[in-house]
Amino acid sequence: MHTAVIIGTGMIGTSIGLSLRKQGVDTYLMDVSPVALRISEAVGAGMAEEPPEAVDLAVVAVPPAQVAPVIASHQSRGTARFYVDVAGVKVSSLRELEALGCDLATVVGGHPLVGRPGSGPLAAQDDLFDGRPWALVPAAETDASALNCALELVALCGAIPVVLDAEAHDRAIALGTLVPQVVLTLAAARLTEADSIALRLLGGVWSEIPQLIGVDSATSWTQALAANAAPVVSELEKLSLDLTTLLETLRAVADGSGSPAEPDGHLLEFIQRGIDGCNRIPGRYGIPTETGLADIDVFVEDRPTELARLFRDVASAGVVMRGINISQRPDSLDRTVTISVTPRKAEDLLHELRRRKWPADA
């Protein structure tokens, strides 16, 4: 990737611009807000102008409801070879892209899972995505070269790619981010009835909660909930059943007819299920690997652009990565990248990687 345009210069868009500029990518900036655009340019995220010719990649960093119209508009203008968005909802965006007649071969859905206080370009950081998972959601029609370009973007930003389909993405986001945000918001709403003494007591405990419930981005959260309503409803219904069981147990403890000390009691089971859920969170991220694939392990040194160079070399070999896992070596910051490909492509890719001086083994 040599050129890119960031369409939408909020915190995420500007952070991507900063990351790309740091890696030597010529980056252009576009935004409907001239103030945000100038600030983004001032902090070094790119050039506040339309690219003079089609760039390699357009990063569409706009709210979910605007993703499809923006991509349709820029495809008609030939702004870029490939397009990736960063919105937190994928199924509805894909349907809108189809309805608008967009060329899905050049589009990859994207969603970096990051969060920090503040919003807008002044909250941007060039290391915002370091080591964080970044979902990539290709459509069935997406071309392999488009996906490889999106993988290169993720690598240039220092993130870890996770490739999955739109439905799986939206279910995961409902379970892991939207529903917890809803629960925190409901709990925070109870503070409107708290007395002043309680608020003084709880001030330190709740100091980080406003960041988690998105007080700086209420509009974005509202759009995400509305666009992802079906999987959120499904998870909230399950949570409602758990709450009903918990309420019955706590009522029994409160009136003296139950004991929280029972080893097989509902309270202990309730806590243990939460612990078990946390323990399932993996320490490494990657593309869920299909069965029947061949793996190639590549040693990647901890140097800027090395992951991006690896992905470029794989793409140049004409090979589609069907699975990828990235793990840290225990004795250094270097990484082992496991690339999964169809068996008939494995030998050719291994030969090509070694020819390009990559330490690779099958």
151 and 33, same structural domain?
yes
283 domain residue, yes or no: no
286 domain residue, yes or no: no
317 domain residue, yes or no: yes
270 domain residue, yes or no: yes
Measure the CA angle with vertex 229, ends 274 and 109; round to 5°: 90
Mean pLDDT of the chain: 85
Between the two ends of the chain, the Cα-to-Cα distance in Å is 27
- pLDDT tens digits along 76-134: 999 999 999 999 899 999 999 999 999 999 999 999 998 666 678 998 999 899 878 89
Q: What is the domain-level CATH number for residue 105? A: 3.40.50.720
- Helical H runs in 89-143? 91-99
Select from 163, 197, 217 the last residue of a domain. 163
151 and 41, same structural domain?
yes
150 and 179, same structural domain?
no
- Banded model confidence at residue 205, pLDDT cuts 50, 70, 90: low
How many separate domains does the chain show? 3
Mean pLDDT of 140-164: 88
132 and 81, same structural domain?
yes
Range of the domain at 46: 1-163
How far apart (Å, rounded) are the C-alpha atoms in residues 65 and 348?
43
15 and 36, same structural domain?
yes
Give residue 46's pLDDT: 96
185 and 61, same structural domain?
no
Between 251 and 321, residue with greater pLDDT: 251
Query: Using an 8 Å Cβ cutoff, are 79 and 61 in contact?
Result: no
285 domain residue, yes or no: no
287 domain residue, yes or no: no
Give residue 267's pLDDT: 78
Q: Considering the chain, what percentage of its residues have pLDDT values greater than 90?
A: 44
Select from 163, 191, 215 the last residue of a domain. 163
Q: What is the domain-level CATH number for residue 348? A: 3.30.70.260
pTM of the predicted protein model = 0.74
330 domain residue, yes or no: yes
149 and 21, same structural domain?
yes
How far apart (Å, rounded) are the C-alpha atoms in residues 279 and 277?
5
Give residue 227's pLDDT: 85
Select from 163, 188, 217 the last residue of a domain. 163
H or E element, residue 275:
helix 266-279
284 domain residue, yes or no: no
pLDDT at 195 over 80: yes
Q: Are strands 323-328 and 360-361 parallel, antiparallel or unpaired?
A: unpaired
Query: Using an 8 Å Cβ cutoff, are 63 and 11 in contact?
Result: no
204 and 325, same structural domain?
no
- Banded model confidence at residue 215, pLDDT cuts 50, 70, 90: low
Q: How many residues does the chain have?
A: 362
- pLDDT tens digits along 29-55: 999 999 999 999 999 999 999 999 999
| Residue 163 main-chain phi, psi, to 5 deg | -100, 130
10 and 45, same structural domain?
yes
Query: Using an 8 Å Cβ cutoff, are 348 and 286 in contact?
Result: no
pLDDT at 285 over 50: no
12 and 105, same structural domain?
yes
152 and 27, same structural domain?
yes
| Residue 133 main-chain phi, psi, to 5 deg | -70, 145
Query: Residue 349: which residues within 8 A CB-CB, separation 6 or more?
Result: 296, 314, 317, 319, 339, 341
233 and 86, same structural domain?
no
The tokens of 218 are what?
A: 């209420």
